[in-house]
Amino acid sequence: MDLDRLLDRLRAYVEHETPTGAAEALNSFADRLLARYADLGGTARREHAATGDHVVADFPGEGPRAEEAPLLFLGHHDTVWPFGQLESMPWRERDGVVRGPGVFDMKGGLVVLEAALELVDGRDHRPVRVVVIADEEIGSPTARELVKSESADAYAAFGFESPHPNGDLKTSRRGSSRVRIEVTGREAHAALDPGTGASAIDELVDQLLVVRSLVAGYDDVLCNVGTISGGGRTNVVPGKASAELGFRFVDPETERAVLDAVTALEPVRPKARLEVSVMSNRPAWQPSEASAELLAAVAEAARSVGQTIGGAAAAGAADTNLTGGLGVPTLDGLGPRGKGAHAVHEQVIAASLAERAALVAAIITSL
């Protein structure tokens, strides 16, 4: 496999910046994918979303397996990086390592997927369906139903997110939910008439303490307060405040109990109003016998190309939460090896692009 060609494509993808929510940039990148998948023999279409279009492509099977259920490949083309990140974090290639915003999460995975499709051209295999999401980094709020519908007839689902550091695949994921708490208080002069006011900030702080106490009652629940905003002047009792929280769960029962409790929060102050909304939700993808059997088949495919592959649970969430949660045999982590997702040292081991492409090709032709 021509590694230089893979790196050229990866560089072009990385230097096409695609922040989540930047619809014009994401749609332009979707145009690239549509053309590329058509060149590879797929029938591709875009699924419109206001914050950026998703891409779906179907590749026919070949030979006696052409009518079998498809393999579903999941990826995304949005990144956490804002426009201009390339100025301080440019594409760099040195000592077999490439760096740049989105190189690991997950434009490297998109290049691996394309290279694998090239490798299986002319070989017998079941159909392949590719779904590339435009808002994965914020929980795929506009793509949830698309992933569910496109996985309905899938034989198995594979994600092209990053693998574990040693290259092993991901066999389950925590559930992930984003929750917004918005407080409306009552403004007043902080010195002359504080009693007629109701501090939205004080109310928010008290609610966050309630949430902390609630989470402490459950094992293995993670809660991160990601943003807080509100208020304006120190001499004004603040009338508005909000926070966004990220929750992680290991099982759906705990997830439901915690989210029910959080969304049922009541104001502490009579003059305050509270609105709690679930911004996005990915169900817990728990270990299953089906995924274990799929991992065994993938390990056999890996051996056929001289590789050894294992699997382990993952803490992070992705679109494979949806397929795994629906009971579709699922594995994730087929992207290249590297490190630094969402960090300024984000990087990929260049040689692993070709290695992973060979692995994915073996999966396509053997499952």
Domains 3-174+284-366 and 175-282 share a fold: no
pLDDT digit string (tens) for 17-53?
999 999 999 999 999 999 999 999 999 999 999 999 9
**Segment 309-323 mean pLDDT:** 94
344 φ, ψ (degrees, to nearest 5): -70, -15
Specify the fold of 175-282.
Alpha-Beta Plaits (3.30.70)
C-alpha distance from residue 254 to each of 232, 283, 312, 316, 348 (Å): 37, 11, 22, 17, 36
Rounded to 10 degrees, the C-alpha dihedral 276/257/282/338 comes to 110
pLDDT of residue 315: 86
Q: In whole angstroms, give the CA distance from residue 18 to residue 110.
A: 14
CA 241 from centroid of its chain's CA atoms: 28
Give mean pLDDT, residues 60-72. 96
Calculate the alpha carbon distances from 138 to 54, 126, 150, 176, 244 in Å.
14, 32, 20, 10, 12
Distance CA 356, CA 112 (A): 6
How much is the average pLDDT of 88-113? 97
Give whole-number Cα distances, 321 to 20, 105, 187, 207, 224, in Å: 19, 17, 43, 29, 19
pLDDT computed for residue 295 by the predictor: 98
Measure the CA–CA gap between 63 and 333, rounded to whole angstroms. 28
Closest residue by Cα to residue 92 from 170, 37, 10: 10
Average pLDDT, the chain: 96
Per the CB < 8 A criterion, the answer to whether 316 and 104 are in contact is no
Residue 1 confidence class, pLDDT cut points 50, 70, 90: confident
Give me the numbers of helices (H) and strands (E) for the chain, helices first please.
10, 18
Contact (CB, 8 A) for 51 and 21: yes
CA distance 74 to 69: 16
Q: Where are the domains of the chain?
A: 3-174+284-366, 175-282
Residue 316 pLDDT more than 90?
A: no
Q: pLDDT digit string (tens) for 27-36?
A: 999 999 999 9
pTM: 0.90
How big is the chain, counted in residues?
Answer: 367
pLDDT in the model for residue 69: 97
Residues 345 and 339: their CA atoms lie apart, in Å, by 8
Whether 362 has a pLDDT exceeding 90, the answer reads yes
- Biggest CA pair distance of the chain: 83
**Run of H or E including 276:** strand 273-282
Helix axes 252-263, 200-216, angle to 10 degrees: 160
| pLDDT-above-70 percentage for the chain | 100
Q: Which residues are catalytic?
A: 78, 136
pLDDT in tens, 226-278: 999 999 999 999 999 999 999 999 988 999 999 999 999 999 999 999 999 99
* pLDDT per position as a tens digit, 181-225: 999 999 999 999 999 999 999 999 999 999 999 999 998 899 999
Pick the CATH number of 3-174+284-366 from 3.90.180.10, 3.40.50.300, 3.40.630.10, 3.40.228.10: 3.40.630.10
- The reported pLDDT for the residue numbered 49 is 97
- Whether the Cβ atoms of residue 100 and residue 86 lie closer than 8 Å to each other: yes
Tell me, rounded to whole angstroms, the distance of Cα 112 from its chain centroid: 17
